[in-house]
Amino acid sequence: MSTGSAISNVKKATTRRVNGKNVTFSANMYEQYENNSRDDISSETTLDAIVNGERTATTRWSHIEGFYDQIKEGDIVEFHDKNGRSILVRITKAPHKLTLKDDVEEWSKKEGWSVEHYNNEVKPHVRAGEAYQMEYEYVEDSLVDDNNPSKSKIEKITISQQKDKHNYKKGYPQKHTDTAFVFTENAQANAANLELTPVGPRASRITLNVNAQERSGGFNQADIRTDKEGNKTENAFGLVVKKYQQSKEGSWIK
């Protein structure tokens, strides 16, 4: 199988957070080495080789992918296979064109493929001037396995109680999307926020965009339920501790 197909469907994504890292590219990485690996490679697939420290580079053809002029050193790329697994790598050397003067043995050590595989599959593309290699390092503990969560490695989780209540004001969670915010909630507002069947007095007219600072000059946890425009905060989660937020007349229930 051609080396050039292993990273098909490379996509430049809107920057998003994965395991606390800004990911700007997503690509397939699922090739089986079969009998084409170096003798010192124990991994069966190219993705496994990256995780096991046996692969630090990949070569692709310019007529297959068009991302070479975009990716740069320091970018975080997400690789995924066909079995629901994904990892993150950090680019240490931007894609560069290979030439026939390059050291084939060094190429082999970086990619895990045998020199014979290079001669059969890669060299024709190098000769045609369309082979590009990028180098990277595995982001430790970034393996995610959708089919086997117990094998997924997640970065260290820290749980803390924020004593500075001013950090709970509107807009703070949106600036810290790699953090989950848990706040005390009521069943009345929680149902409305989740777009479920309204409960209790006032029902569908419940106020979700709470701004305690405007009302009393202070802050409370419900301020982080939405942003200033009333959009739901995706990384804020309510812990229901009471039934209602407002009475039938609209007054606030303490």
Q: CATH no. for residue 10?
A: 2.30.130.30
Number of independent structural domains in the chain: 2
How many residues appear in the chain? 254
Task: Tell which wins on pLDDT, 183 or 140.
Answer: 140
In terms of DSSP bridges, do strands 21-28 and 76-80 run parallel, antiparallel, or are they unpaired? parallel
Range of the domain at 24: 3-151
11 and 122 part of one domain: yes
Q: Which of 164 and 181 is assigned the larger pLDDT?
A: 181
Name which of 173-177, 206-210, 217-221 the model is least confident about.
217-221
pLDDT of 1 reads 41
Whether residue 157 is contained in a domain is answered as no
- Give the residue from 151, 182, 200 where a domain finishes: 151
Q: Is residue 212 domain-shared with residue 129, that is, in the same domain?
A: no
Whole-angstrom distance, CA of residue 253 vs CA of residue 188: 11
Out of 134-138, 209-213, 221-225, which region has the weakest mean confidence (pLDDT)?
Answer: 209-213
Alpha-carbon gap, residue 44 to 103, rounded angstroms: 24
Q: Given 151, 176, 201, which residue is the final one in a domain?
A: 151
Average pLDDT of span 175-187: 76
Please indicate, yes or no, whether residues 49 and 124 belong to a single structural domain of this protein.
yes
Residues 177 and 114 in one domain: no
Digit-coded pLDDT (tens) for 30-60: 999 999 999 999 999 999 999 999 999 999 8
- Quote the Cα angle for 198-199-203, to 5°: 60
The answer to the question of residue 160 being in a domain is no
pLDDT at 218 exceeding the cut of 70: no
122-126, 172-176, 191-195: which is most confident: 122-126
Is the model more confident about 203 or about 72?
Answer: 72
| Amino acid making up residue 176 | H
Residues 69 and 140 in one domain: yes
209 and 102 share one domain: no
Say yes or no: 7 and 89 in one domain.
yes
Residue 254 lies in a domain: no
> Is 195 a member of any domain?
yes
Q: Does some domain include residue 248?
A: no
16 and 129 in one domain? yes
Lowest mean pLDDT among 75-84, 113-122, 165-174, 192-201: 192-201
147 and 169 inside one domain: no
Same domain, 231 and 172: yes
The amino acid present at 39, given as its one-letter code, is D
What is residue 6's predicted lDDT score, i.e. its pLDDT?
Answer: 42
On whether both 103 and 40 belong to a single domain, the answer is: yes
Taking residue 173's Cβ as centre, other Cβ atoms within 10 Å add up to 23
